[in-house]
Structure 1
Amino acid sequence: MVGAATVVVLAGSRLVPTVSPLVVALLLGALVAPVLARAASARGGARLRATGPGIAWTSRVVLRAGVVLLGFGLSVPEVLALGWRGLVVVTTTLAVTFAGTVALGRVLRVPRVAALLVATGFSVCGAAAISAMQGVVAGRPRTPAQARADDEALAASLALVTLYGTLAIAVLPALASVLGLGDDRTGLWIGASVQEVAQVVTAAGAVSDPALATATVAKLARVALLAPLVAVAGAVVVRAARRATAGGAYVPVAGRARGTGDATRATGVVTRATGAAPRVAPVPWFVVGFVAAVALRSLGVVPAPLLAALATATTVAFAAAMFALGLGVDVPRLLRTGRRSLALGALSALLVTTTALAGVLLLA
């Protein structure tokens, strides 16, 4: 089922290249979920329960493998070619956007995980960054209700980077022309602020080839910062999980609820922790793998044909994992509770755009 859905998503995504296949896959999973639930109810649910472990494995292991593969698309020398001024603009924009979005989430009373995912998507690289951070938040002990809330937060954050990133495609090139920015500064602004890679390419490509080249490198610099950001978030999750365990918080017994179809979610069994620290790595293994992949790409030891195949494999892995996660999304509930997240996305888009522009005007 997941394989067939992935093929459909990848084929359909070519029709709308500015929309991430990850978003399409998650949406498709959310639309299919009610149909599967009705079918399971009518037939006793035996077949659906049999596919549950495979769906859980896809949403957990395949997602993390996709993050590792993402590293093969990043080369350190290419990032350094941006120059120190460009790197300062990118780094400052990312830090301000991430911290500001998390703070705004508290003000708007957006759930903590939802704010974290939105902050990651808008500050780093859209759907791929959100997927990487999802791997961190899904690794903590969760009740079934928390797992469902996390899946809905994932869906909301992916929708937001798609919505506001698409708006940026039309708005930023026009504003750059009004402000009289040159090609290089326009490319840096777009690369440092627009969410998805496809959106960056579309927006900067509409300006000029030099703007596209600069925007692409700036985007790569943002992707390079994904590993340290996720590693820090992982350390915070570990500390929070240990505090919760020491305080006797409820944690799953049948296995951590790491994705749709997980055994814990199926049974709904939870118990009070005994005080033992949860087994959550401070630095997730997929972040280590991401860094190793970047190192191999930077050393030039991976042949070009293999890099092309790995790029395709990355998209396939992410799309499959997003479809599996989408099967756990409650669309009606998401629509009822999504207004605050929508406001947070708007403020985050404004923050990343204005911070990057200020940096470009001051330094570039």
Structure 2
Amino acid sequence: MSNSIETAEKTATRRQRTLVPLLPGLGLCAAGVAVSLTVNHFLPTVSALLIAIVLGVLLRNLTPLPAVFEAGLAFSAKKLLRLGVVLLGLQLVIGDILGLGGGVIVVVVAIVLGGIAATLLIGKVMGIGLKQRLLIACGFSICGAAAVAAVDGVVEPEDDEEVVTAIALVVLFGTLMIPIIPLAAGALGLGAHDAGLWAGGSIHEVAQVVAAGGIIGGGALGVAVIVKLARVLMLAPVMAVISAVRRRQSAGTGGKRPPLLPLFVAGFIAMVALRSTGVVPEGVVDAASVVQNALLAAAMFALGAGVKIRNLIKVGPKPFALAACSTLVVAGIALAGVTLVA
């Protein structure tokens, strides 16, 4: 009995030693999340993720940040981010996506695969590194910041500036698309249903799609969100392919091989399956959505706090140009697909 008690005490001590260094950084992230969500509440068109990134960058560059915060910030930037991706799976119902019909599902696959392939190719021509290209390609083609986070968990970019740049570009260009898509849909004479399909197929973040669908009106919001969630579902197979490629590459170099299916991606799939059974109460889904948003905001704040502006400036205009091209490609494929299936 005494041995069991000693073992339990040692385990508790180890956990305490692991947790305590994280608390200052986690507390700082919690404060950043509170501010971000408050600002987002009063300015709903401004993404809470963008606010969190900006707050983190300002904190890092306007005031000395004591080393006591670093452990918690690093934990938030990696672990909390991946947990947010897992909870994102609770927003998806397979039945809703299948209800779109085979034609629309084919269009969604074309948007994701075509967007990724074109962005990687254009970025290569521009001379942008593979990891930065991949972060932008998946963020713009699949589901914004969550996709960037997922890629970050698989490819391990050289520095946090690459991740922050990709997320900032997703938020910037996706926000610009909120008024552009409704205006362009009206100019092209698209009905509300087709305009909703286009919005869901071309805009980067779920929240941005909701905003654009609300502007279009006439039932566009529902179909736009479902199409967007169909793109989100593509996150799992794309990450599995990227992980498999990374495993093959690392096998030749003797480096550490990533798992065939990262644990957080498996968690994402499990959450999708669980939600699709219909056993999860709507109240739990709504609460999980709030928690997911808070976790991603905490991760964005932590990533921003790891960035020095002088290093970010060195990025130059190329990623911005690639982001613009990726946005045009994804929107173009989506519009062509909507025209074909209409």
The interval holding the TM-score normalised by the smaller chain is 0.7 to 0.9
1:313 equivalenced with 2:322 (yes/no): no
1:34 equivalenced with 2:61 (yes/no): yes
1:165 paired residue among 160, 164, 174: 174
> 5+ unaligned residues in a row in structure 1: which ranges?
41-47, 247-274
For 1:304, the aligned partner's letter is E
1:329 equivalenced with 2:307 (yes/no): yes
How far apart are 1:332 and its partner, in Å? 2.3
Higher share of residues assigned helix: 2
Indicate conservation of the 8 Å contact 2:131/2:155, yes or no.
yes
What is the rounded CA distance, in whole Å, between the counterparts of 2:289 and 2:267 in structure 1? 15
1:82 equivalenced with 2:109 (yes/no): no
1:201 equivalent in structure 2: 210
2:185 paired residue among 164, 167, 176: 176
The TM-score with structure 2 as length reference comes to 0.88
1:23 equivalent in structure 2: 50
For 2:325, the aligned partner's letter is L
What is the rounded CA distance, in whole Å, between the counterparts of 1:340 and 1:69 in structure 2? 33
1:301 equivalenced with 2:279 (yes/no): yes
Q: CA RMSD in A?
A: 1.6
Q: Using a 3 Å threshold, how does the CA distance of structure 1 residues 285 and 83 change in structure 2: closer, same or farther?
A: same
Q: Using a 3 Å threshold, how does the CA distance of structure 1 residues 189 and 26 change in structure 2: closer, same or farther?
A: same
SS in 2 for 1:14: helix
For 2:291, the aligned partner's letter is A
Moved over 3 A (4+): none
The Cα offsets for residues 111-130 of structure 1, whole Å up to 9 and x where unpaired, read as: 21111111111101111221
Indicate conservation of the 8 Å contact 1:23/1:127, yes or no.
no
2:34 equivalent in structure 1: 7
For 1:346, the aligned partner's letter is A
> 5+ unaligned residues in a row in structure 2: which ranges?
1-27
What is the rounded CA distance, in whole Å, between the counterparts of 1:27 and 1:282 in structure 2? 34
SS in 2 for 1:357: helix
What is the rounded CA distance, in whole Å, between the counterparts of 1:78 and 1:279 in structure 2? 36
2:17 equivalent in structure 1: none
Indicate conservation of the 8 Å contact 1:63/1:135, yes or no.
no
1:35-50 map, 5 Å: 35-36=62-63, 38=64, 40=66, 48=67, 50=68
Indicate conservation of the 8 Å contact 1:166/1:199, yes or no.
yes
2:13 equivalent in structure 1: none
* Percentage identity across paired residues of the two chains: 43
2:117 paired residue among 71, 74, 99: 99
Deviates more, 1:215-224 or 1:326-335: 326-335
For 2:221, the aligned partner's letter is L
1:228 equivalenced with 2:237 (yes/no): yes
1:346 equivalent in structure 2: 324
How far apart are 1:61 and its partner, in Å? 1.4
2:86 equivalent in structure 1: 68
What is the rounded CA distance, in whole Å, between the counterparts of 1:203 and 1:303 in structure 2? 27
For 1:25, the aligned partner's letter is A
1:51 paired residue among 69, 72, 94: 69
1:213 equivalent in structure 2: 222
How far apart are 1:220 and its partner, in Å? 1.1
How far apart are 1:236 and its partner, in Å? 1.9
Q: Using a 3 Å threshold, how does the CA distance of structure 1 residues 114 and 215 change in structure 2: closer, same or farther?
A: same
What is the rounded CA distance, in whole Å, between the counterparts of 2:168 and 2:200 in structure 1? 20
The Cα offsets for residues 233-268 of structure 1, whole Å up to 9 and x where unpaired, read as: 12222233333xx2xxxxxxxxxxxxxxxxxxxxxx
Deviates more, 1:91-100 or 1:162-171: 162-171
Indicate conservation of the 8 Å contact 2:128/2:319, yes or no.
yes
1:105-144 map, 5 Å: 105-138=123-156
SS in 2 for 1:195: coil
